[in-house]
Amino acid sequence: VHTYQCSARNLAAAKASGLPYIKTPVYAFNRLWLLTHPLWIKVLRQLPHDWVDPWLSFTKPDFAWEKLYDPFEKFGCDCFLIVSPGGNTLVVADPEAISQITRRRDDFPKPVHFYSGIDQFGKNVVSAEGGYWRHHRKITSPPFNERNNHMVWEESLAQGQSMMSGWLSPNDTATGPLKDIAAQAMRLSLHVISCSGFGVRLQWPHEQAESDIPEGHSLSYKDALSTLLENLIVVMLTPKWFLRNSPFKLQKVAHTSYVEWGKYMKEMYTEKRSEIESGESSGGMDLMGALVKGAGVTAKSSDDDSNHDPEKASETTKTQLFTEDEILGNAFVFILAGHETAANTIHFSILLLAMHWGSQMHLQDDLDAVLGDKSVSEWDYDHDMPKLFGNMCGAVMCEQLRLIPPVVGIPKSTLKGLPQGLTLGGKQITVPGGCTITLDTVALHRNPKYWPHTSREDLCEFRPERWLLDSSKSNTNTDDNTYAEEEDLDFDGPDKRPDTAASLFRPPKSAYVPFSEGHRSCLGRRFAQVEILAVLAVIFKTWSVELDVSDFMSDEEVETASEEQKREAWNKADARARDLLRNGMMTIITIQMRKDKVPMRFVKRGHERFKFG
């Protein structure tokens, strides 16, 4: 009876909204459904098609990736509702709606209960809402400054070189097949955030005999962090008392890494605190140093005097803006938000370039034009980075983030009992109260109304050249202020520069939101852009990437093959990559290729064997 009543109520709200809708008997965000849906979907697929189509496919957590812009086209509207007994979900690929939703922070809050699992070490800017979020944002924004970006640049160049030197010695002209470049990109990105986030420089296996385990620890710093990130879902889903006492290996490993990483973070925190207190601090260039400094925490204020003198204690609580847990919670969330997202962009950029030789060559020409014969140690953040941002390197990054934004559905909501109006094309619609909202970035970024394209297929293709402006035409969207919009926050927000350089195509406002938009937009946007551009530049200045064809043609056969035979083998490798990009992706925190990997090889420029695509 309850289910029927909820269903009827949600349907009535959908009918009153003025939006198209589709009914499903299952709420896709139900926890039990999230965990068990593959099983149910398999069973339900056995039923006659007209019983389960089309609603069943909208109950998959990854339906946005599966369907892209199609449902919006069918509905003839860039917003639609999914109605179910458990709740209504508004799916949005309309820039006008996104602009209003992201700006009206109180009317459309983030459904932070989705994020409770990330509070493993303390509350943080990602999982907070309302006034409490504002407090977090105020203290966590300043560390993302140009000093830190310089550090990101230097470290990304160094780590990019180290990654390549692990695969190739200086005289090699090619690597063998590299099966899992995604994992290597993840490692690289973890190293970058470790240095720029905590001031701890990590090395690659070929640079270091074995990782040291300091006294008092059972795992090295690097193993504690990487094992925790690998097992994060286990840590998030298992109650702490069970994790602590579990007889199962998986949970034991997860628990040890959780405890160990907590210890490492505490040690770093204590170190930064005493550095600041003794005046040794370099000014907090890394994120944690800046966080500790900005939070007004010093060893003196938190320990000594306050234990003895209650008056002083109350004084210190006034000046200390974050508790220790909040500092650790935010430091951890920087790693979480920052390493996988940037790693995905690096991995998919490499893959898409391997599939598009023409674009790769164009990228290399532009890198030569900007960087000439300078060695990497001479590359300069202030001089070179803006140029990379404004040429094919920036275009590759923007196009990759258009096609495969790491966050495919940015969650928002309306509060229970508080429906909200939106104006779309001069028409008023009503978003029901208690509604979950998904800003569908993959559909938005393929919305034909807002992107230059030659055909519908072209919108789904990797064509970075679409971002390059014809020099005879000027940018139709030149007003930087539409991007650097006032955020009504009386503190330094994150970098307000636009998502793309002035010399590149500027999509209409809110039509391109890989980093979200408005008040809760990504704090690490510039950090990520610097990292991605630096790594792409290091790799492609010297190397080319190719799809590995060894499953279809051996190295010896390649030596003697005709162009036509080589193309045939390459086409098979390309078809495999395309299939995995369409059907092998799944979201856990971010979208990644999870079914299998696409093997690739790097070759020294000039030694390419496959110049196709």
Q: Which residues are annotated as a binding site for heme?
A: 522
Alpha-carbon distance 407 to 340, whole Å?
A: 11
Measured in residues, the chain has a length of 613
| Residue 328 burial (CB count, 10 A) | 23
Give the C-alpha separation, 130 to 147, whole Å: 29
The SS3 call for residue 421 is strand
Structure tokens at 305: 């005097």
Considering only 37, 137, 191, 356, the residue that binds ligand HEM (CB under 6 A) is 137
Among 95, 199, 406, 493, contact with ligand HEM (rule: CB under 6 A):
406
Q: Which residue is nearest to ligand HEM (CB)?
A: 524
Spatial CB neighbours of 49, under 8 Å, sequence gap ≥ 6? none
Report the site for ligand HEM in 183-222 (rule: CB under 6 A). Answer: 193
Per-residue mark of binding to ligand HEM, 379-398 (x: CB under 6 A):
--------------------
- Rounded distance between C-alpha atoms, residue 567 and residue 571, angstroms: 6
How far is 578 from 600, CA to CA, in rounded Å?
14
Q: What mask of x and - would describe binding to ligand HEM in positions 111 to 130, judged by CB under 6 A?
A: --------------xx----
Cα separation of 226 and 247, whole Å?
22
- Cα Rg of the chain (Å, integer): 25
Query: Contacts with ligand HEM in 549-578 (CB under 6 A)?
Result: none
Cα(600)–Cα(548) distance, integer angstroms: 4
Which residues does 427 contact at the CB level (< 8 Å), separation at least 6?
A: 18
The residue range among 312-320, 321-329, 450-458, 517-525 that interacts with ligand HEM, by the rule CB under 6 A, is 517-525
DSSP 80: E
Write the Ramachandran bin of 434: left for phi over 0, alpha for psi from -120 to 50, otherwise beta.
left
- Nearer Cβ to ligand HEM, position 127 or 175? 127
Collapsed DSSP state (helix, strand, coil) of residue 178: strand
Residue 521 C-beta: closest distance to ligand HEM, Å: 7
Using the contact rule CB under 6 A, the part of the chain among 85-93, 366-374, 511-519, 573-581 near ligand HEM is 511-519
144: tokens are 């993302």
Nearer to ligand HEM, 85 or 409 (CB): 409
Question: 371, 379 in Cβ contact below 8 A?
Answer: yes
Binding mask 139-178 for ligand HEM (x = CB under 6 A): ----------------------------------------
445 forms part of the interface with ligand HEM (CB under 6 A): no
> Among 200-208, 216-224, 521-529, 603-611, which window interacts with ligand HEM (CB under 6 A)?
521-529
Number of residues that bind ligand HEM (CB under 6 A): 26
Nearer to ligand HEM, 466 or 520 (CB): 520
Stretch that binds ligand HEM, among 65-73, 301-309, 508-516, 547-555 (CB under 6 A): 508-516
The distance of closest approach from Cβ of residue 613 to ligand HEM in the complex, given in angstroms and rounded to an integer, is: 24
Under rule CB under 6 A, residue 493 binds ligand HEM: no
Smallest distance from ligand HEM to CB 506, Å: 18
- Is residue 160 within 8 A of residue 534, CB to CB? The reply is yes
Q: Tell me which of 37, 110, 446, 601 binds ligand HEM, using CB under 6 A.
A: 110
- 523 binds ligand HEM per the rule CB under 6 A: yes
Burial 470-506 (b: 16+ CB within 10 A, else e): eeeeeeebeeeeeeeeebeeeeebbbbbbbbbebbbb
Give the binding range for ligand HEM (CB under 6 A) out of 1-9, 462-470, 520-528, 540-548: 520-528
List 163, 350, 528, 549, residue binding ligand HEM (CB under 6 A): 528
126 vs 219 by CB, closer to ligand HEM: 126
Q: Three-state DSSP class for 603?
A: strand
Min. distance of Cβ 188 from ligand HEM in angstroms? 13
Q: Which is nearer to ligand HEM, 411 or 508 (CB)?
A: 411
145 class by beta-carbon count within 10 Å (0-12 exposed, 13-18 middle, 19+ buried): middle
Which parts are annotated binding residues?
A: 522
Decide whether 158 or 346 has the Cβ nearer to ligand HEM.
346
Q: Give the integer Cα–Cα distance in Å for 585 and 578.
A: 11
For residue 193, the minimal CB distance to ligand HEM (Å) is 6
Taking CB under 6 A as the criterion, the residue among 20, 166, 176, 411 binding ligand HEM is 411
Q: Cβ distance 64 to 405 under 8 Å?
A: no
If one counts every other C-beta atom within 10 angstroms of the C-beta of residue 39, the result is 9
| Chosen residue from 506, 520, 576, 601 binding ligand HEM by CB under 6 A | 520
- Positions 308 through 367 that interact with ligand HEM (CB under 6 A): 333-334, 337-338, 341-342, 345
- Cα-Cα end-to-end distance for the chain: 57
Is residue 514 a contact point for ligand HEM (CB under 6 A)? yes
Q: What angle do CA 457, 59, 410 make, to 5 degrees?
A: 65
The nearest distance, CB 141 to ligand HEM, in angstroms, is 8
- The window from 42-50, 242-250, 404-412, 414-422 that contacts ligand HEM (CB under 6 A) reads 404-412
Q: Which of residues 33-62 bind ligand HEM (CB under 6 A)?
A: none
Nearest to 529 by CA among 514, 510, 544: 514
Q: H or E element: which one contains 140?
A: helix 130-140
Between 219 and 404, CB nearer to ligand HEM: 404
Q: Does 516 bind ligand HEM (CB under 6 A)?
A: yes
State the minimum distance, in angstroms, from the CB of residue 406 to ligand HEM.
5
CB of 314 to ligand HEM, least distance (A): 30
Q: Counting Cβ atoms within 10 Å, is residue 44 exposed (0-12), middle (13-18) or buried (19+)?
A: middle
Residue 102 and residue 516 in contact, taking contact as beta carbons nearer than 8 Å = yes
Phi, then psi, of 439 in degrees rounded to 5: -80, 105
Binding status of residue 86 toward ligand HEM by CB under 6 A: no
Q: Which residues bind ligand HEM (CB under 6 A)?
A: 110, 125-126, 137, 193, 333-334, 337-338, 341-342, 345, 405-407, 410-411, 514-516, 520, 522-524, 527-528
